[in-house]
Amino acid sequence: MHLFSGGGFLITLAVAGASNAALSNPSFGPSLNGVQTLQNSQSLKAPDDLRLLSNDVFTVLSHSAFPHHSVRVKRSDFCDGTVAAYTGYIDVQARHLFFYFFESRSEPEEDDVIFWTNGGPGGSSSIGLFMELGPCNVVNSSSTEYNPYSWNERANIFFIDQPVGVGFSYADYGEIVSSTEEAAVDIAAFAAIFFEHFKRFTGKPFHMAGESYGGRYIPLFAAAILDQNARLVEHGVPPVNLASVMIGNGLSNYLHMLQSWYEIQCTPASLPPVESISSCVRMKQAVPRCYKMIKEACFDVFDGLGCGAAKLFCESELVNIPAERNPYDLSRKCEGELADTLCYPITKDIVAYLNRPVTRALLGTDAIPANYSSIGWDLNRRFMALQDEMHPTQYYLEGLLERGVRVLIYVGAYDFICNWIGNERMTLNLEWTGQSEFVAQPLREWKVDGAVAGLTRSVGPLTFATIYGAGHMVPHDMPKESLELVKRWTGQEPL
């Protein structure tokens, strides 16, 4: 059994109904559920100020260092109502990645920039935007409401549908992305093009954040941006000021997470045990065998067939939560069928809201895909077939730490699939110059408004934190504590 490790999802880049092919032929494009979208071939001169962008026509951004990448962007004032909002696409020849960008409610020109992606793999960042940390929450299939705990209270923020094949992102001729390494190239190019063209944000601290499978995405995306900076300097372009990575309930080391599935189900690590004693005895006996099998076939030397067989056996032995339980929050029952609602029926309203012709016209989405979906199952199957989650993501985190990039690992205490025990174990086993000091540091309480919000451990650039009362999607479950966490982190204040 493979549990979709992405109740949280990806970041989005949006546009005004025009693919790259359409940009060479100004015309009214195909009808989108009865709404015609304007396709305009003009590459407007990129302004230094996003606020000068058109609401109706895309501005196309490019850079000589990235001849195969460009960015289409326009104003799309929606969702927040108090700040400027934009949508667009990262165009990689025939591939198109959709995004949303919201300016800060505080001081856009002074505040940091956050990139957000959900997980899956295959999950759309519309989940993060419309039910977690975005400026508005979808309340039903036709309306939204203001979110006072949005992370753009103190930061400028992107939400991106990636890789291609997720959400509103698509390919003209069926091109695919099958690994995080491939996806990282496009995200790094986008970051460079954006900061080069919009001088208001050039040099601003840039934080890459993600959830769930974002624990795999974000370390590689951040490393690609950091490694790319040397190339930018060669072209006379200011490097991207990568300040930190922020990973919520992430999957960054499968081996460490596998061990924790027994502990979270069969011990009072967060809640009373949810499994029967007989089931827990069977699981406990399987843990050392599974650890050995996965370590030898997937990590020590990668053996595709052996790794796949070990994963299939171990997940069947260790992923056994009762059907009525929500695997993303063990304190709750699953609402609806897991495969249909992810245990949160509001996800279906988000899909319906984004499929409304009036919504798509406002966002400026291209006519493809004809029907928006919050989960790209084809992409999920490709990534799983190549066992992308078994790749050594922890090495990228270690490399970032050694180069002074701050790393925040935060975890809702009630999650099962990407739980706090596995994430703590992952942080304690990271091999970097501060490891001994970090391991020796005891967990301590951190508070919000005088109330204990969770536990934390921090040394130098590495911080680990739990959030009480939250499951897999911390901003959804504990919005006030989530926002306070982000404010302190971007403000470089201790928790």
Q: What is the percentage of the chain residues whose pLDDT exceeds 70?
A: 90
Residue 106 CA to residue 427 CA, distance in Å, equals 33
Q: What is the CATH number of the domain that holds 40?
A: 3.40.50.1820
Specify the pLDDT at position 155: 97
The average pLDDT across 278-293 equals 96
Rounded to an integer, the average pLDDT of 49-74 is 83
The residue-averaged pLDDT of 339-346 equals 92
pLDDT band at 206 (very low <50, low <70, confident <90, very high): very high
477 and 471 Cβ atoms separated by less than 8 Å: yes
Least confidently predicted of 26-40, 238-252, 445-459: 26-40
* Residue 323 pLDDT grade (very low, low, confident, very high; cuts 50, 70, 90): confident
Residue 361 domain-assigned (yes or no): no
Other CB atoms within a 10 A radius of the CB of residue 492 amount to: 10
The whole-number pLDDT of residue 68 equals 85
Higher-pLDDT residue of 3, 377:
377
Q: Which helix (H) or strand (E) holds 273?
A: none
Residue 46's pLDDT band, with cuts at 50, 70 and 90, is: low
pLDDT band at 48 (very low <50, low <70, confident <90, very high): low
Instruction: Write down the pLDDT at residue 47.
Output: 59
Mean pLDDT value across residues 309-320: 94
Mean pLDDT of 261-267: 96
Are 2 and 381 in contact, with CB atoms under 8 Å apart?
A: no
Among residues 76, 415, 477, 482, which one is catalytic? 415
Cα three-residue angle 369-372-374, rounded to 5 degrees: 130
140-183 per-position pLDDT tens digit = 999 999 999 999 999 999 999 999 999 999 999 888 889 999 99
SS3 41: coil
Q: Which of 69, 207, 256, 472 is the catalytic position?
A: 472
Residues found in the chain: 495
What average pLDDT score do residues 462-483 get? 98
Confidence band for 24, pLDDT divided at 50, 70 and 90 = very low
Mean pLDDT of the 257-263 span: 95
Residue 15 pLDDT exceeds 80: no
Q: pLDDT: is 61 or 139 the higher one?
A: 139
In a domain, 356, yes or no: no
Classified as helix, coil or strand, 112 is strand
Across the range 336-348, mean pLDDT stands at 92
Q: Which of 70, 150, 169, 212 is catalytic?
A: 212
Whole-number percent of the chain with pLDDT over 90: 73
Domain assignment present for 298:
no
Give residue 49's pLDDT.
67
- Looking at the domain assignment, is residue 450 inside a domain? no
CB-facing half-sphere around the CA of 317: CA atoms within 13 A: 21
| Residues 89, 98: Cα–Cα separation, whole Å | 4
In the three-class reduction of DSSP (H, G, I as helix; E, B as strand; rest coil), residue 101 is classed as strand
How far apart CA 315 and CA 290 sit, in angstroms, is 9
* Tokens standing for residue 263: 């502990």
Say yes or no to pLDDT of 11 above 60: no
Is pLDDT at 44 greater than 60 in this prediction? Answer: no
The token pair that represents 495 in the structure block:
């928790």
Q: Is 476 a catalytic residue?
A: no
Structure tokens at 38: 């304007």
Q: Which two tokens stand for residue 290?
A: 């599974």
Active site residue 472: yes
- Confirm if 66 and 192 have CB atoms less than 8 A apart: yes
Q: Is residue 18 part of a domain?
A: yes
Told to judge if 329 belongs to the known catalytic residues of this protein, a careful annotator would answer: no
pLDDT digits 0-9 by tens, 208-224:
999 999 999 999 999 99
Q: Hey, which bits of 418-467 come out as E strands?
A: 444-448, 451-459, 462-467
Does the pLDDT value for residue 10 go beyond 90?
A: no
Total of domains in the chain: 1
Question: Does the residue 195 lie in any domain?
Answer: yes
For residue 386, pLDDT beyond 60: yes
Determine the Cα–Cα distance for residues 182 and 159; give it in Å rounded to an integer. 19
Q: For 200-209, what is the mean pLDDT?
A: 95
Q: Is residue 117 within 8 Å of 11, Cβ to Cβ?
A: yes
Residue 139: name the closest of 366, 353, 406 by CA.
353
Tokens of 144: 């939204």
Alpha-carbon span 455 to 386, nearest angstrom: 36
Residues spanned by the domain of 423: 7-252+389-430+467-490
Q: Has residue 225 been placed in a domain? A: yes
Residue 311 lies in a domain: no
The pTM for the full model equals 0.90
Summarised one tens digit per residue, pLDDT across range 92-123 is 888 899 999 999 999 999 999 999 999 999 99
Specify the pairing of strand 5-9 against strand 112-120. Answer: antiparallel
